[in-house]
A and B are shown apart, each in its own frame.
Chain A
Amino acid sequence: MAVSVSNPSTAPCNIGPRIAIRGTITGDEDLIVEGRVEGSISLSGHLAIAQVAVLEADLEVDSIDVHGQVDGDIVAQTTITLHEGARVVGNLRAPRVVIADGAQFKGTVEMDVQLPASITRQQRR
């Protein structure tokens, strides 16, 4: 079932490394995933994916830091950051996407690209 949190507590919610979840996770606070999640996550907060985490899920978050494995699309309201050691397959969509050297990624990236005016006249993609 969807796990919904309405009462942000001080300690961030943590899905431990030995927990596997299949389903939908929604929330309004920050979340740290160290285990396995299969399904989807919808969070209006920050999502941190630990190095050992394995996600097969579509993620819709405010911001996200990926250090682990994600197989699915990621949509963020602010920033998507793939750190070294991240292994991501899927599409990224956010105003800002940062891919660190050493991160593995395969998929498309959709950011808002402001091309200089001189070009947009010639070529539009």
Chain B
Amino acid sequence: MATARIRANTPAASRRSHSARRRVHSAYPYWFFIAPALIYAVLFLVPTFASFYFSLTRWTLFTSTFIGFANFVQFFREPNLVQGLVNTFVYAAVTSGLKVVIGMALGVLLTSRIIARGWLRSVVFFPVLVSTIGVGITFSVLMHPTEGLINQVLALVGIQGPYWLTDPTLALISVALVDVWKGVGLATVIYVAGIVSIPQEYFEASRVDGAGPWTTFVNIILPLARPATVTVIILSLIGGLRSFDLIWAMTRGGPGFTSDVIASVIYKQYQAGFYGLSTAGNVILFLLVTAIILPLTWVLNRKVTH
């Protein structure tokens, strides 16, 4: 009920305040917006609409022939597109799931009273600051099956480490784990902010009622840190869906096509000089991300207002 009323009111209210503001005064004269509008048009609108056009052509960068939707048909016939799509979703789900779980655990840990809390917070955040390509190259050296540090350490305790990046069943997951290592710092910071912003009264009240740490976590932190969870899921899901740089640095979609995601399939078309085809792939990726993120944002945010 309450939600329905608010939703019914909001657009009208905002429209009213909008027109009111416009009538009273604008802080800047209209010509003031010409420069930003031009920049926006030249750098964003024109390329976007040009890409819609070029996705319908066979394009060599010198000449383009209009071929209708043939590029889209061709792109969907791409032998490993289906696997690329599945991989994209697996990758996005694995990375965002792990970032939520680990990020929240670290968030709780780093808001509790522990030694060297400030230092630990910086340490957890540090990988976020490092270049993705650098991380990718470093980890592909570390994950080398025979000469890599990871498997050499495992060998010391008598475990024969797997072929992290060359085993077809493992390659994508290995890259996803590195992605989590690199990105979990950001999730942690968001959770730290979310948990810190929960009023202390709730914790005091629950302590008076005799709640243990687990009850406090389930009944207070988990529901009240929901905005943080929403942010982490949305950010890491978008990041996961359009992930490319780390995968390219570590496996280039290989072995074979087993760790290909949509973005790397598109990039390979571009590399091969099929510019129209790769533009069509980008249009598809754009539509796909929009189709997933728009409803997700809507659903997650609506529940927040409850």
- Genuine A/B complex: no
